[in-house]
Amino acid sequence: MLRDQSCETDKFFNGPSYHLNRKSLILCGGWPYLNPRKRKIIWWTINLAIFTAWVPELIYIIEIFDDTQKVIYCTMAFLISYLAFCASVNAVVNHNSMKQVLDSLKDNWNDLQNDEEREIFEKYANFGKIFTIGLSGTNASHFHLAIIELHNFSVCYFGNLSLYFVSPLIPSMLHYRATGNWTTPEKNFLEVEYFVDPVKYYWHIYVHGAQAGTWVVCVLTAYDSFFIVLVQHCCGMFAVLGYDKFNFEKFAIENEVRGLCRYKIQKMDKEIYDYRHDRQSVVEKIEKIVMYHLHCLKFAKKIEDFFCMQMIQQIMINTIIISVCGSQAIKLADDSLQETFRYAYLSCSTIFRLTIFNILGQSVFDQSLRKRPALQSLGCQDTLLESYYLFDANENCDVLLHDDYPNVMRCLFLMIKAQAIIIRH
C-alpha cells in the first residue's frame, strides 16, 4: 500500500508542472518522498561540501579583519553560503511540515470538480514553473559580488553559472592570448584560507570553491522556487474560490446574464437560486464555500509553518547586505566609481529580490480579498432577499440595515445556522 502511494505521488510530481521542483529538491536532498537513506546521504554530502568551503571563508575573513574593504567583499559570499545552509537545515528540521504541504497540494489537484477549476490550477502552476526557470537563471549571480543578482529571467542558469566560473580566469586568458604565456590568476573562485600556498594549489582551491558555489546556488534555487510554486498554488486555490472579475463582466455583457456558474462562489449563486425555497439546502451550499475558504487558509498556514524560520533568516541577512553595501556605495562615491557601482548594484539587486518575494506573498492576500467583491456581485441578491442584506455592504464591511430589521435578523440567524454546521465538521 505504501509503495503504491509513493509511486502515485512520484507520478504526480513528475508531471509537467512540478518536475523541475521535484528534481531540484532531490538533488539537494530535500525531497521528503525520497528513500530516507538516500536523502540523508545526499543531504550530508552537499552540506559537507558547502561547509568545507564556508569555514575557510570564515578563517580568511578573520585574518583580514583589519582590511574593511576586503572583509565586506568576502562577507557577501560568506552570507550567501550561510543562507543556503540555513535553507537546507530548515528542510530537515521541518521535514514533516514539508511533506504535509506537498500532500495537501496533491490532494487539492485530486479534489478538482471540473475542467474550469483545473484550468485555473494549471495557469498558476505554469506561473510557478516560469518563476522556477527564471530563478535558475538568477541565483547563480546571487552568489558573487562582481556579478551578483542579475535577475535576468531569460538567462539560463547554467550559462550564468559558467560565466561566474570563468570570471576569475579572464585576465589570465587575455594575457595568454596576447603573449602566449599563462600566468596564475590573481583572484580565485572564493577568497579562502586553507593554510597552503595559494599559488601552488590554485587549481585545487579553485575546483573546491567551484563545487561549493555550485551547491550553494542549487540549494538556494531549489527552495526559493519551491516557495514560489507553493505561493502560486495557494493563489490558484483562492482564484477557484472566487472568480476573475474581468472574465465575469465580459461574459455577463456578452450574454446579458449575471449568474455565471464557473467557479465555486458563482456556482453557489446558481445553487442558492435553485434551492431558494429550501433554507437547509441554502445553508449547506454556503457551508461548502466557507469550508473551502478555510481549506485555503489552512494551506497558507502550512506554507508559513515550513518557511517561517527560513524567511526570517533571509530577511535578516539581506537587510545586512543592503545596509552595508548601501553605506559603502555612499562612502566610496568620490574615491572609486567602479566600487561604488558594484556595491550599489548589489544593494539594489538584493532589494529587488526581497521585493519579488514580498509581491508573491502579497498576491496570496490580494487573492483572498477578491471573495468579497465576488460575493457582492452574486446574482442571487435579486432572488433571495436575505442574501441581499448579507452581501450589500459598504467599504468598511458594515451591513446596511435599509430600515428592514426583520430581514436583517433572518440573515443573521441564517449565518449562525451555517456556522453551527461548520463547527460540527
* Closest to 276 measured CA to CA, from 380, 394, 398, 162: 380
pLDDT tens across 168-204, in order? 787 788 877 778 777 777 777 777 888 888 888 888 8
pLDDT tens across 250-270, in order? 443 444 333 333 455 555 555
* Closest to 228 measured CA to CA, from 141, 132, 146: 132
Q: Which residues pair with 393 in a beta bridge?
A: 399
For the purposes of burial, counting CB atoms within 10 Å of the CB of 116, is it exposed (0-12), middle (13-18) or buried (19 or more)?
middle
pLDDT of residue 142 exceeding 80, the answer is no
- Does residue 50 contact residue 212 with C-beta atoms inside 8 Å? yes
Q: For the ranges 118-127, 188-197, 260-269, 299-308, which has the lowest average pLDDT?
A: 260-269
Please tell me the pTM assigned to this model. 0.74
pLDDT of residue 40 exceeding 80, the answer is yes
Task: Give pLDDT, residue 380.
Answer: 45
pLDDT tens across 228-250, in order? 888 888 888 888 876 433 343 44
**At which residue does the C-alpha cell 514553473 appear?**
129
- Does residue 387 contact residue 375 with C-beta atoms inside 8 Å? no
**Bigger pLDDT: 187 or 40?**
40
Report the distance separating Cα 284 and Cα 187, nearest Å. Answer: 69
pLDDT of residue 41 exceeding 90, the answer is yes
Question: CA 10, 11, 13, 18 torsion: positive or negative?
Answer: positive
**What are the domain boundaries of the chain?**
2-240+295-366
Report the distance separating Cα 334 and Cα 357, nearest Å. Answer: 34
- Does residue 242 contact residue 367 with C-beta atoms inside 8 Å? yes
Q: What are phi and psi for residue 164, nearest 5 degrees? A: -65, -35
* Closest to 58 measured CA to CA, from 86, 77, 85, 84: 77
Checking phi first, is residue 397 left (phi over 0); if not, alpha (psi -120 to 50) or beta? left
Query: Which grid coordinates are listed for 136?
Result: 535558475
Cβ count within 10 A of residue 388:
18
For the purposes of burial, counting CB atoms within 10 Å of the CB of 113, is it exposed (0-12), middle (13-18) or buried (19 or more)?
exposed
pLDDT of residue 44 exceeding 90, the answer is yes
> pLDDT grade, residue 344 (50/70/90)?
confident
Q: What are phi and psi for residue 55, nearest 5 degrees? A: -65, -45
**At which residue does the C-alpha cell 471573495 appear?**
371
Average pLDDT, the chain: 71
